[in-house]
């Protein structure tokens, strides 16, 4: 039961600011994407990896990944969902797929192994953590509509894992019906399929702003035993 990985790294990173896209920003002397990629190359069950990047960055990405000749690089589409679908189509022999954000380099090996175990058992699994803050549903006018019970709310992370046949069908349906979901799991949900939660870790952050880089540097120092 081989695992394939699709890493979505086609974003523009506008909220990060600066001229360097976040997947190419260096963190501890190494591009963010290389930190992310290393997590998956060390897993025995992973049989193939596809990195999806912007069409204008394909050559640059291939140079960056020169030490990973088996990793396939493909051009993405207009939306993240389009890019993931293109990555899925580039897989050749995987039974299950992990879909991950290229700018989320801190997911732990333990979380990945829990996720893989669950997806093999149940066919779908996503990493998530319970929300810490009270969440308000707010109207367009800026007034509170409701306060959902916090115990039922989870903040979703990646990877999200699915049987390959299931997520391919979900993406194909969404494309045909011109539906754009908030994440890959939402495409499976709208088919009436169950999506199972695997508890992740709060350190599995996505690097979106300059402040996230500061947090990311602290996480790396902690893991290296420097703090």
CATH number, domain containing residue 78: 3.90.550.10
Could you give the CA distance from residue 135 to residue 138 in angstroms, rounded to a whole number? 9
**Amino acid 16: pLDDT:** 64
129 located within any domain: no
pLDDT at 18 over 70: no
145 in a structural domain = no
Give the single-character DSSP code of 209.
S
Q: Is residue 148 part of a domain?
A: no
Q: Please report whether residue 47 resides in a domain.
A: yes
Residue 212 lies in a domain: yes
> What is the model's pLDDT at position 226?
67
Q: What is the pLDDT of residue 89?
A: 97
Domain that holds residue 62: 3-124+156-223
Q: Is residue 162 part of a domain?
A: yes
Cβ atoms 42, 68 nearer than 8 A: no
Count the domains in the chain: 1
CB count within 10 Å of CB 111 equals: 20
Pick from 63, 71, 69: nearest CA to 47: 71
- pTM of the entire predicted model: 0.94
* Token representation of residue 97: 């797929």
Residue 164 has pLDDT above 70, yes or no: yes
Q: pLDDT at position 19, please?
A: 62
Task: Decide if 136 is inside a domain.
Answer: no
Q: How far apart are CA 39 and CA 181, in angstroms?
A: 26
Within a domain: residue 27? yes
Residue 225 has pLDDT above 90, yes or no: no
Q: CB–CB of 224/152 below 8 Å?
A: no
Q: How many residues does the chain have?
A: 227
pLDDT of 14 higher than 70: no
């Amino acid at each position: 039961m081989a695992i394939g990985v699709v890493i979505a790294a086609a974003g523009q990173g506008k909220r990060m600011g600066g001229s360097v896209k976040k997947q190419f920003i260096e963190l501890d002397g190494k591009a963010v994407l290389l930190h992310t990629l290393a997590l998956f190359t060390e897993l025995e069950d992973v049989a193939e990896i596809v990195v999806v990047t912007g069409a204008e960055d394909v050559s640059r990405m291939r140079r960056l990944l020169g030490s990973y000749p088996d990793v396939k690089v493909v051009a993405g589409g207009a939306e993240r969902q389009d890019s993931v679908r293109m990555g899925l189509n580039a897989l050749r022999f995987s039974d299950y797929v992990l879909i991950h954000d290229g700018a989320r380099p801190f997911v732990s090996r333990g979380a990945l192994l829990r996720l893989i175990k669950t997806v093999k058992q149940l066919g779908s699994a996503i990493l998530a953590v319970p929300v810490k803050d009270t969440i308000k549903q707010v109207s367009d006018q800026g007034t509170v509509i409701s306060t959902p019970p916090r115990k039922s709310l989870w903040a979703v992370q990646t990877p999200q894992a699915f049987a390959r046949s299931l997520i391919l069908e979900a993406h194909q349906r969404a494309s045909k019906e011109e539906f754009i979901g908030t994440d890959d799991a939402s495409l499976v949900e709208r088919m009436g399929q169950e999506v199972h939660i695997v508890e992740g870790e709060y350190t599995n952050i996505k690097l979106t702003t300059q402040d996230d880089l500061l947090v990311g540097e602290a996480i790396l120092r902690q893991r290296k035993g420097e703090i």
